[in-house]
Structure 1
Amino acid sequence: MRKKPVLIGIAGGSGSGKTTVTRSIVNHFGEDSIVLIEQDSYYKDQSDKPFEERLKTNYDHPFAFDNDYLIEHLQQLLNHKPIDKPVYDYTVHTRSEEVIHIEPKDVIILEGILVLEDERLRNLMDIKLYVDTDADLRIIRRLLRDTKERGRTMDSVIEQYVSVVRPMHNQFIEPTKRYADIIIPEGGSNVVAIDLIVTKIQSIIEQKSFL
C-alpha cells in the first residue's frame, strides 16, 4: 500500500513571506518530491459575469475562492491521482482556458492567504503554518512587488491596501493564526523555524512510510 502524501498548509498576509518559506522547503526536498498548489489558482470562475462586475472582485475575501474545487483536487492528489490545476487570468478577472497538469508527489504544499480559514482544508493538512510579519514590512513588500512586477502606480497600491487588503487581513486572515501548528515570525528570514519545519516534515514522511 502506497503511503499517503504529506499536506502542508502555509498561510499569512500578503507580503508576509509565504513564498520564501515555501521556496526554502522546496529547495530542501527538491522539486521532484513536492507539489506546490497556490490557493490563488482557485479563484472562482467568473465567465458568467459581465467584465464590469468582475472588476469589483474582492480577492482578499473568502468568498472569492472556489474551495470545493480546491478540496476535490487535493483529495485526488492525496489519493495519488493527477490533476489539471486551473490558471487564473487577472487581465480578464476569470479562469483561463489553460490548465497545468500536476502529477501526485510525496509532499503537497498548499500556499495562500486564506488556506487556514476553511475547516475542511485544515482537516486535510498534516502541518499548518502561519507566516507572521509586521504590517509595515508587508505593505513595503507589496508596494515594491506591484509597482515593479505588475506595472501599478504607488497610489493605486496604497489605495487598495487601505480600502481592501488591510481590513480583509484584520477580519479574515489574521484570526486564522490560531489554527496554526507553527507561527513563523518574519517569514523566510527565520532560518531556525524553517529548519525545524523541514525536520518535522521529514519525520512525518518517514513515519508514513512505515504505516
Structure 2
Amino acid sequence: MMKELYRSDNGRCIIAVGDITNIACDAIVNAANSSLLGGGGVDGAIHSAGGPAILAECRALRNSSLPNGLPPGKAVATTAGRLPARRVIHTVGPIWQGGAYGEDETLASCYRECLALAMIEQLKSIAFPAISTGIYGFPKERAAKIAWNTVQDYLASTPEAASIIVWFVFFSEIDAHIFLEANGKIKL
C-alpha cells in the first residue's frame, strides 16, 4: 500500500512511501545495473516480483541490441511480468565518484530518458525509485534535487507529457522526507 506524502498542486507529481513493485502505474522504473540481469535493492525486488518474463526480455535485449549492457544514463523498456505495472523501464544510474565525473548529468539523463521512453510508449503514469542513492552512493539530497528539477523541466518543456502522472516512490519514510525537504516541500 502506498502512503502518499505530497501531491503537487496540479496533481501530476506525487511523493509516496511504499513498495514500488505494488504500484499500479503504466510503468515503474528499475534502477538497474548495466548487465540488466538483476541485482540487489530495487533491481532485485523488481526482478523477483515480476518473475522470469522480465529477465527473459532483458537477456534478449543483451543478445540483440545491448551486447555490452545498458550504458549509464540510458533507458530501455521491457514487460512488467507479474507486476501490476504495464511496463518496466530500466535505467542505469551513475556510481558516485565525488561529483567531478559527470554524475549529475548522468543522473538527470536517467530521468529524461525514462520519461521520453514513457512518451514513446504512450504511457500515462510512471513511478521512479531514488536512482543511484543505494549501493551506487549518490548523495540523497543532491539526487533528490536533480530528480525533482529534471522531471519538472521535462514536464514543462514537453507538450506531449501534459497528462503524465509522475510518482516518486521511496521504500523508507526517512528517504521520502529527505526528498521532500531537499525540494522545499516540507521543513523537518
Hey, which of these two has a bigger chunk of helix by percent? 1
TM-score (norm 1): 0.29
The structure with more radius of gyration? 1
TM-score (norm 2): 0.31
